Structure 1
């Protein structure tokens, strides 16, 4: 079965990737640090490459939800997850700043 890359697939995958990136931000920070060790300090490529695994997981999540619940549910849950993880990340950073 070929994969259809329409705008809903791209948007849903990107929303899930953002949600995972914010939800697992300590992991993404460690990944950026590891990539900076390989590519050089303060390398913008490290920050860009750190997004790739989250795009992969986001695409797989969107694809799985599309198969099980349908495309509109996959995008809707991606929006809800991105908002929820964004609020979590803001609270996490505020908690770190107050320590």
Structure 2
């Protein structure tokens, strides 16, 4: 939690983490959600491993791109997903 606090990270928005020289940590509001978050972390790590295997390069994305994709769904002006006005309006049109 110290690192999350130092970096201004929200543990609810980042429900899993890899810790150097330790291993994965995952959490959630229920045990089932924590297991789900753990599996998501495992799949993402496996995808990154295969990317590095194929390209021999790190697959780090620039922060601006990470922010763009995070805030389009979770930001104050979110426009992606089923819980916004645009999606609901689109879904009710005939």
Give the TM-score taking structure 1 as reference length.
0.38
More strand by share: 2
State which structure, 1 or 2, has the greater radius of gyration over its C-alpha atoms: 2
Higher helix share: 1
